[in-house]
Amino acid sequence: MFPANVSTLNTYNDLYPDWTQREVSTGTTIMAVEFEGGVVIGADSRTTTGAYIANRVTDKLTPIHERIFCCRSGSAADTQAIADAVTYQLGFHSIELDEAPLVQTAASLFREMCYRYREELMAGIIVAGWDPRRGGQVYTVPVGGMMTRQPVSVGGSGSSYIYGYVDSNYRAGMSKEECLKFTAEALALAMERDGSSGGVVRLAVISEQGVERQAILGNQLPKFSTV
Amino acid sequence: EGATSTVKSLKETKMNEMSVNGEWRSSKVSTETTIIAVRYDGGVVIGSDSRASMGEEYVSSRVINKVIQVHDKIFCCMAGSLADAQASQMLSSISSVFTGQHMSIYLQLEPPLVKSAAAIMRSFCYTHRDELSAGFIVAGWDRKNGPQVFQVSLGGMILEQAFTIGGSGSTFIYGYADAKFKPGMTREESLSLAMDSDNVSGGVVHLAIVTEKGAERQLIPGNKLPVLQSLA
């Protein structure tokens, strides 16, 4: 695979690219916002192995159940494995109950796994969806395995850059269109600054009616003055 | 509803996670400052927040250490992991270059250029690039090039920009500042950008405005700044 004389301790060597030795990461920006009647979720589409972009059109919005999605950030392997496990558990639970599962149940399942295996895992997950009992909900399960419900949540490496923007621009009671615009702009700003986030903006609206997905391509992203 | 959070902003959630326990009293490292400098037609606005002490100690003296007036119309702010004593020592040695005996004859003819102050900072950063982990913003007005903002970053790179932010608190406001900045702003818009960015970082805001006429300092306490939307 790579030459035998490459020292694995030599972490920076122009001759041999480092992505052959690096784990795949979804260094990313993910976001979810509640509105009256549902949630809007969004993510960028870049997956990196070191400095190499392994996938520039990743879909980080993973369906867990019909009206429950999760946004994944952190190690791609870890989050895919957790999402698969939770999808199975939730599907089983939903069949037993014979009704749609609660978003809080999905979030609790994520939390159980992320907390139990917190030493081995590197996963930051936002769980968002709609259920008939409590409407649109966003739960965040960051690295470490805490779970909390928030009206708006951001995650991933790019999220640091948009805390200020989100704090100052979020208003309670926004409509679906306003939430979509807010999410797209915040993600575009994060993708502008974070090297591990980029590509297209993937958005999804989850409500009683179901799930509507869209993607905003690079040339259609909201633009801000460049400095 | 066992999972409801009651924090007021996303930033507070993150700060609570980081949980500073009075370490700042003996800490020599960076005090989570945010500094910003904006150039507009006619002058520059420099702002810094005051997250130094989490409100346990009044911070006016801390701020003088962060934003130093090295000459009548040139200000310098530092952000990074340099002990405050070292920082103020270094910055006052910069100002002494501009007021020193051997320079006074030259300086009587013409006040120093902002570029010169930036070059001195840059030379310091580059010489000590292995030990230092600090960046500077140098901003001011001079007769030759008008208002200027220079960013002198970690390894000693110098960059002139229309606006720049710095400090460990600045990561949180990159998105906000990018969204709000537009080229060709007026003084009021620049003030508002600086104030809001620093407000978003927290605490009180210390401003300095430099124009052809001179420099003016303002301190704006937290309760006079626009209140951010509460998420609770």
Smallest CA–CA distance from A144 into chain B, residue: B17
Measure CB to CB from residue A150 to each of B11, B228, B231 and give the nearest one.
Answer: B231
Residue A71's domain comprises 25-216
Q: What percent of chain A has pLDDT over 70?
A: 88
Looking at the domain assignment, is residue B21 inside a domain?
no
Looking at the domain assignment, is residue B169 inside a domain?
yes
Looking at the domain assignment, is residue A226 inside a domain?
no
- Give chain B's domain count: 1
* Confidence at residue B7, expressed as pLDDT on a 0 to 100 scale: 43
- Please judge whether B179 and A172 are an interchain contact, meaning their C-beta atoms are less than 8 angstroms apart: no
Rounded mean pLDDT, A75-86: 94
Smallest CA–CA distance from B168 into chain A, residue: A160
Asked whether the predicted pLDDT for residue B12 surpasses 60, the reply is no
* Confidence at residue A166, expressed as pLDDT on a 0 to 100 scale: 93
Please report which helix (H) or strand (E) contains residue A45, including its range.
Answer: none
Tokens 């952190």: give the residue.
A74
User: Which of these, B43, B86, B81, B41, lies nearest to B68 by C-alpha position?
Assistant: B86
B positions 130-169 inside 8 Å of A (CB): 161-164
Q: What is the pLDDT of residues A29-69, one digit of tens each?
A: 999 999 999 999 999 999 988 888 999 999 999 999 999 99
- Please judge whether B175 and A161 are an interchain contact, meaning their C-beta atoms are less than 8 angstroms apart: yes
Q: What is the CA radius of gyration of chain B?
A: 18
Looking at the domain assignment, is residue B229 inside a domain?
no
Rounded mean pLDDT, B146-163: 91
Smallest CA–CA distance from A163 into chain B, residue: B172
Catalytic center residues of B: 33
Catalytic residue among A26, A28, A49, A62: A28
| Distance to chain A for B203, nearest Cα, Å | 14
* Confidence at residue B4, expressed as pLDDT on a 0 to 100 scale: 39
Residues of A with CB under 8 A from a CB of B: 104, 107, 139, 147-154, 160-172, 185-186, 189-190, 192-193, 224-225, 227
Torsions phi, psi for A13 (to 5 deg): -145, 115
Asked if residues B221 and B158 have their Cβ atoms less than 8 Å apart, the reply is no
Rounded mean pLDDT, B66-75: 84
- Please judge whether B174 and A172 are an interchain contact, meaning their C-beta atoms are less than 8 angstroms apart: no
Tell me the count of A-B CB pairs closer than 8 A. Answer: 95
Secondary structure (3-state) at A215: strand
Report for A17-26, A99-108, B5-14, B94-103: range of highest mean pLDDT: A99-108
Q: What is the mean pLDDT of chain A?
A: 89
- Give chain A's domain count: 1
Whether B32 and chain A come into contact, CB under 8 Å, resolves to no
Q: What is the pLDDT of residues B220-231, one digit of tens each?
A: 776 666 555 444
Whether B9 and chain A come into contact, CB under 8 Å, resolves to yes
Looking at the domain assignment, is residue B195 inside a domain?
yes
* Strands ordered across the beta sheet of A201-207: A152-155, A30-35, A38-43, A201-207, A210-216
Q: What is the mean pLDDT of chain B?
A: 72
Q: What is the pLDDT of residues B172-206, one digit of tens each?
A: 888 888 888 888 777 777 667 776 666 655 567 78
Measure CB to CB from residue A168 to each of B3, B174, B200 and give the nearest one.
Answer: B200
Tokens 């690079």: give the residue.
A218
- Please judge whether B172 and A160 are an interchain contact, meaning their C-beta atoms are less than 8 angstroms apart: yes
Q: What is the pLDDT confidence band of residue A8, given thresholds at 50, 70 and 90?
A: very low
Rounded mean pLDDT, B78-85: 62
Report for A12-21, A132-141, B101-110: range of highest mean pLDDT: A132-141
Asked whether the predicted pLDDT for residue A102 surpasses 90, the reply is yes
Q: What is the CATH number of the domain that holds B126?
A: 3.60.20.10
Looking at the domain assignment, is residue B20 inside a domain?
no
Asked whether the predicted pLDDT for residue A86 surpasses 70, the reply is yes
Measure CB to CB from residue A167 to each of B4, B5, B200 and give the nearest one.
Answer: B200
Residue B185's domain comprises 28-223
Q: What is the pLDDT of residues B46-66, one digit of tens each?
A: 888 765 544 334 444 444 456
* Confidence at residue A227, expressed as pLDDT on a 0 to 100 scale: 45
Looking at the domain assignment, is residue A71 inside a domain?
yes
| Distance to chain B for A91, nearest Cα, Å | 23
Asked if residues A126 and A159 have their Cβ atoms less than 8 Å apart, the reply is no
* Confidence at residue A113, expressed as pLDDT on a 0 to 100 scale: 96
Q: What is the pLDDT confidence band of residue B106, given thresholds at 50, 70 and 90?
A: low
Q: What is the CATH number of the domain that holds A91?
A: 3.60.20.10
Looking at the domain assignment, is residue B23 inside a domain?
no
Looking at the domain assignment, is residue A7 inside a domain?
no
Distance CA B206, CA B62 (A): 11
Q: What number is the ipTM of this complex?
A: 0.73
Q: What is the pLDDT confidence band of residue B68, given thresholds at 50, 70 and 90?
A: confident
Torsions phi, psi for B115 (to 5 deg): -60, -35
| Distance to chain A for B2, nearest Cα, Å | 9
Looking at the domain assignment, is residue A107 inside a domain?
yes
Please report which helix (H) or strand (E) contains residue B135, including its range.
Answer: strand B134-142
Asked if residues A47 and A172 have their Cβ atoms less than 8 Å apart, the reply is no
Looking at the domain assignment, is residue A14 inside a domain?
no
Q: What is the pLDDT of residues A171-227, one digit of tens each?
A: 999 999 999 999 999 999 999 999 889 999 999 999 999 999 999 998 899 888 764
Looking at the domain assignment, is residue A56 inside a domain?
yes
Distance CA B48, CA B25 (A): 20
Looking at the domain assignment, is residue B16 inside a domain?
no
* Confidence at residue B204, expressed as pLDDT on a 0 to 100 scale: 72
Looking at the domain assignment, is residue B6 inside a domain?
no
Identify which has the larger pLDDT, B87 or A172. Answer: A172
